Structure 1
Amino acid sequence: MQSKVADLIVILGTGGTIAGKAAQANDNVGYKAGEIGVEALIAGVPGLSTFRLEAQQVAQLDSKDMDFQTWRRLALAVEAQLTRDEVRGVLITHGTDTIEETAYFLHRVLAPRKPVVLTAAMRPATALQLDGPQNMLDAAHLVNDAAAAGVMVCVAGQVYAADQVQKAHSYRVDAFRGRDGTVLAQVEEGQVRWLSQALPGPLAIGTAALPTEGAAWPRIEIVLNHANADGRLVRLLVHEGVEGLVVAGTGNGTLSAALEQALLDAQAAGVQVLRSTRCDGGPVAENGRGLPSAGALSPVKARVELLLRLLGTPPQS
């Protein structure tokens, strides 16, 4: 007997602007995120009726308030759905503010072979001109595409890899870009046109490596290099018991002499440090001065990477 082809798409809702409401339809700023449930979002996108769907509300929050416990619940929910033979893939509705961090977290923890696609909106569900419904429909077509695999973000018709996507504009509907301009695919009228292929993901570290519900996670902070950076903030954070530091350096991860020395002292005291860049693109090369590079990871993704390292997982190769 021939086995049935997986065709079920599971949509996991986490809130965000895509599920937001404003008092007036012309208000795209003064809204409250995470007000509409995922079932209602699905019902508002007629094109989704052509897909076989299931939905689950994992969280209902503004993604600026995303936290580690929600990440854990989301990872467990995604993992559970991907083990089902009938599930083609998972679509996650999310807020735009931290979608790039959640995507990278799921990429490192699960490294799924099936597609896991995150989508979002820059305008609330009550806006005059919506972007959320089209983004959800595009994301469903992407999940359903035979070539789709791994964690991706699909917004404004563009598809980005989890380790490359970043929010680059505060307000525009097309607010996202790929680091160094990388785009995996475009979704055009329900058709996915692949432009490049994502690099193989890391080995899955698995959800068992995550702290249990309610347990403490490592404390990691991001500091910035700038004119007259004196390293005082680093010393204060070390005094407060920080376990990891990501520094967003200038250019190729360059640092003022005082900030660099403070970070070297922190590292010598047992604090793990990664050196990234505040530039929008480009990797950080190793410079032999003792502070390891975060490679091509943005500061927020380097923070996720360092978080997972402190939980005892191997670094991304």
Structure 2
Amino acid sequence: MSAPNSADLVVILGTGGTIAGTAEEATDNVGYRAAQLGVAQLLQAIPPLGARRLETEQVAQLDSKDMDFATWRQLAGRVAAHLARPEVAGIVITHGTDTLEETAYFLQRVLAPTKPVVLTAAMRPATALQTDGPQNLLDAVNVASDAAASGVLVVFAGVVHSAEQVRKVHSYRVDAFASVDGARLAVVEEGMIRWLAAPGSRPAGMGLTLLDRPLGQWPRVHIVMNYVGADAAVVDALLSQGVDGLVLAGTGNGSLSQGLESALRAAQSQGVAVLRSTRCDAGPVTESAEALPSAGALSPVKARVELLLKLLAA
């Protein structure tokens, strides 16, 4: 038995999602209800975890399409509290797949932890004939216990991704996540982690105090997309309702129609912060002195998180 003070404890925080979902029929992988099982119940389906030193906490119980700022703030606080405990080796967060990449990036930018914080999920409910949740959760615990792991990671379908690179790229398959530009960090094979690359330079954490502002005063940041026929209508509508930041999901290298560009520059002149991303699955938006500010290699949803946090900091 491990010594009580040894850093071998993995804390598993539950937030709901498909991994905790149930359906009336075992063959139903679509018509299920997410967030029905508690995180402690999920462990019962994974006998190998019975020998591990684990602790569970139910932070939220929701479908990740309904993830919100209040839950983000609560989750960040609980992660920080557990990371500060010397006996904790790492943290696992069970989450829904729909907004997992946004939560992962949010936690990395706020906390930038040195210990591993591993998000995992499932594409099939816990009641499915071939549910993927138990294996993903087992893999996540193994990664959270690995001395080489650090920062916010996503473990899914046997692959380890960084919070900055990972995206959901398929609506149904069990290997629904990928890292852009092929930047996988590691693979999990029969419980063993084979590291392929070390995470690159990661930005410093912005700190939990950033989130102290009352939720009703958090900046309003929205995403607009460029497409054939895109004009100023959406931007004008958002400005009329009050908006603090806009992220462009541009075509190609962050390009945008003349009408949309004029609207965004007008918004910028009114004090609205603007970032240019791309609706492409991979690749950065290059900087240009003549163009609107670039979000670099961040996807539109992660660029929105980045802009939100920068506005909170300001």
TM class, shorter-length: over 0.9
Determine the structure 2 residue equivalent to 1:205.
206
Distance 1:147 1:309 in 2: 30
Shift of 1:213: 5.7
* Structure 1: distance between partners of 2:273 and 2:99: 23
1:138-157 correspondence runs (5 A) = 138-157=139-158
Instruction: Write out per-residue CA displacement over residues 226-280 of structure 1, whole angstroms, 9 at most, x where no aligned residue.
Output: 0111121111111111110000000000111111111011000000000000000
Q: Deviations over 1:164-201 (max 9, x none)?
A: 00000000000110011210000000100001111232
The answer to whether 1:294 aligns with 2:295 is yes
Partner-residue secondary structure (3-state), 2:212: coil
Q: Aligned with 1:200: secondary structure?
A: coil
**Structure 1 unaligned regions, length at least 5:** none
| 1:303 corresponds to 2:270 | no
Query: What is residue 86 of structure 2 aligned with on the other side?
Result: 85
Q: State the percentage of identical aligned residues.
A: 63
Q: Which amino acid aligns with 1:195?
A: L
Q: Residue 123 of structure 2 corresponds to which residue in structure 1?
A: 122
For 2:291 and 2:225, locate their aligned partners in 1 and report how far apart those are by CA, in whole Å.
18
Contact 1:38 1:55 in 2 (8 A): yes
Q: Root-mean-square deviation (CA), in Å?
A: 1.3
Alpha-carbon contact 1:7-1:87 (below 8 Å) kept: yes
Q: Contact between 1:75 and 1:106, CA under 8 Å: does it hold in 2?
A: yes
- Give 1:216's aligned residue: 217
Counterpart residue identity of residue 117, structure 2? V
In structure 2, list runs of 5 or more residues that go unmatched.
none
The answer to whether the 8 A contact 1:16-1:120 is kept is yes
SS at match of 1:221: strand
SS of the counterpart of 2:188? strand
Q: Do the aligned partners of 2:69 and 2:215 also contact (CA within 8 Å) in 1?
A: no
Cα distance, 1:212 vs. partner? 4.5
CA distance in 1, matches of 2:82, 2:216: 24
Deviations for 1:108-161, whole angstroms, at most 9, x for unmatched residues? 000000000000000000101010000000001101111001000000000000
What is the count of residue pairs matched by the alignment?
312
Q: Aligned equivalents of 2:54 and 2:201: distance in 1?
A: 28
Residues 213-222 or 51-60, more deviating:
213-222
Match of 2:263 in 1: 262
Partner Cα distance (1:246, 1:88) in 2? 36
- Match in the other structure for 2:64: 63
Letter in 1 for 2:34: A
TM-score, structure 2 as length reference: 0.97
SS in 1 for 2:248: strand
Structure 1 segment 96-115 matched on structure 2, within 5 A: 96-115=97-116
- Letter paired with 1:201: R
Contact 1:96-1:121 within 8 A present in 2 as well: yes
1:245 aligns with 246
2:164 equivalent in structure 1: 163
Moved more, 147-156 or 198-207: 198-207
- Provide the rounded CA distance (Å) in 1 between the counterparts of 2:100 and 2:69: 13
CA distance in structure 2 between the partners assigned to 1:146 and 1:125 by the alignment: 30
